[in-house]
Structure 1
């Protein structure tokens, strides 16, 4: 399999965009396994972030790979460094798995509050707003969200967690700026 990935990456470096995309697609699961091995158990939820960061780094540095040498050791080093970066950053962040909030379904929404909700969602990117709206307002389950947003279960949890965090941060900023009367 390594030889196949290397061949696709070489074709990609030679200008074959489809081969390059196939090479990265075949590389991602291998990198995910590397990231899972590199991350301590409490931080394994960050594996997808590590993979995405490593893929971006590989893309940006693809010209530095010596095609006469094996690809996987080069990929391994990049992935390991991204995992170390994630561990360092994770020590400064808290993670709250979405599974801990299974009781949160579609809340009852007061019609007068819908304007406030839409104003809050307007502060998010279109994708984040749609994800939060589908989950929190319309009560879409994980399977529906995964299908609708073309995300795997892990990526869905990460995306939803980040969107909810951004929404929370926006709400907190609103509270800080409210005039006192």
Structure 2
């Protein structure tokens, strides 16, 4: 709490009067506090959604806050209701129990392949490596890659063709050496 709960009460009162800057500051500080609040109560995957739901609820219910009363109990009540809502939603979602002995794939070959590919791409001209990375590895369309790199669509295609040909030659040369 930067300014403490009394400060939050003053900021909320200012927000109720239509002052945007104090309201922005309040929401920023509440986001931090709510993140810590939910991090102790929910699985990590649910924390951000719970924070967002609570900030929306605070926005929608800000007119119910009485500036003559302490702010934190009002805040905790809103956060608690949203926490309960989140727990109910988690209880309704289907979960599957994992077996005790779950098989884990060996990722050594994938890691090795990734390292080798990164090294090979490093041997290409940067424009060729980027075109191959975007279109062939990350799955962007030629048009999307063109927009991201500033290269024309036809240049993207040429860079992919030339880059792949050069990669094939490097791999073939290395196979001949071994």
TM-score (normalizing by structure 2): 0.50
- When Rg is computed on C-alpha atoms for both structures, the one with the higher figure is 2
